[in-house]
Structure 1
Amino acid sequence: MCLPLILQPGEGPSVQIRTSTCTFKVTGKDTKNHFGLFEFVMEPGTDGASPHIHKQLTEIFYVVEGQVELILNQERISAAPGALMLVPENTPHGFSNPGTTRATLLIMFCPADSREQYFEGLAELTKNGRQPSSDELLDLMHRFDQYPVPQ
């Protein structure tokens, strides 16, 4: 059963991934797995997600603040607040904050598919500045329908 939910700014479970904070605003548990909505805050000069695909997941990115570099297929787009990117399954995509100010993205996942567990795993692998191995990253990615795209 879905329950109504109100979260104020800064509320919701969150994880720290290097210099970025991912806050789980809505997860699959809240929506019968229909969708999830996360807030992703990146400090200046942050590499976000390198190009990858999802085989069963559609993603939507919405820039709330700052300049975000959105990657769609081979194209890199500088996106200002209000910009939106819809990414169907099997479409290479990624994002980063190469700028000099903090940037905030809203990321929506359909279906939700426990997506927060990927970000929790990534936070654990990178805790205290740790650099995970390629095998560790690939294992985590594959468990959550994420596959790297060669650049």
Structure 2
Amino acid sequence: MTDHQAHTAARPLLRRSQDGELIDVAGVAHFFRLTSEHTGGRFAFEEFSLAPGTIGARPHVHDGHDEYFYVLEGELTLHTGDREVTVGPGHLLAATRGTPHGFRNAGPAPARALCLYTPAG
């Protein structure tokens, strides 16, 4: 198969709203919409939600991938290496490789956000 044939044979992947894998870990509902399996290891995409008072992830560091957090609803308290900041919808945290990061819901309402991973883990 030539490069042109491989390129033209590829098709976009449509994931409907119900498509994905739901994993509940310590009060965080992770809904993985795209995984390594779907993207050839290049990218992963999840939507997650946390109840008030829930710790999503204590401060930690990744050496093998970047994570991008985008808040959709409610508030997330994000650990940014040397401090914490509470943010609402539309805010984005880029936790690139080697940077300390973490998140929790310290607010009074549920929070919902997206997390993107490059490459997929």
> TM-score normalized by structure 1?
0.70
Q: Following the alignment from structure 1 to structure 2, what is the Cα–Cα distance between the partners of residues 57 and 3? A: 24
Instruction: Give the match for residue 41 of structure 2.
Output: 33
**Partner-residue secondary structure (3-state), 2:37:** helix
Runs of 5+ unmatched residues, structure 1: 114-151
CA deviation map 1:20-67 (0-9, x unaligned): 210001111111111100111000110110000001111100001001
Q: How far is 1:3 from its partner?
A: 5.1
The residue matched to 1:29 in structure 2 has which SS?
helix
Superposition deviation, residue 2 in structure 1: 6.6
Task: Name the counterpart of 1:77.
Answer: 85
1:4 maps to 13
Aligned length: 112
Identity of aligned residues (%): 33
Runs of 4+ in 1 over 3 A off after TM superposition: none
User: Does the 8 Å CA contact 2:24/2:30 hold for their aligned counterparts?
Assistant: yes
Larger Rg computed on CA atoms: 2
Contact 1:72 1:93 in 2 (8 A): yes
Which structure is higher in helix share? Answer: 1
The structure carrying a bigger strand percent of its residues is: 2
Pairwise CA RMSD: 1.4
Equivalences for residues 1-151 of structure 1 within 5 A? 4-8=13-17, 10-113=18-121
Q: Counterparts of 2:11 and 2:38 in 1: how far apart (Å)?
A: 5
Counterpart amino acid of 1:61? F
50 and 86 in structure 1: CA distance in 2 versus 1, 3 angstrom threshold: same
Contact kept? 2:15, 2:33, Cα under 8 Å? no
Rounded to whole Å, the distance in 2 between the matches of 1:69 and 1:2 is 38
* CA distance in structure 2 between the partners assigned to 1:51 and 1:18 by the alignment: 16
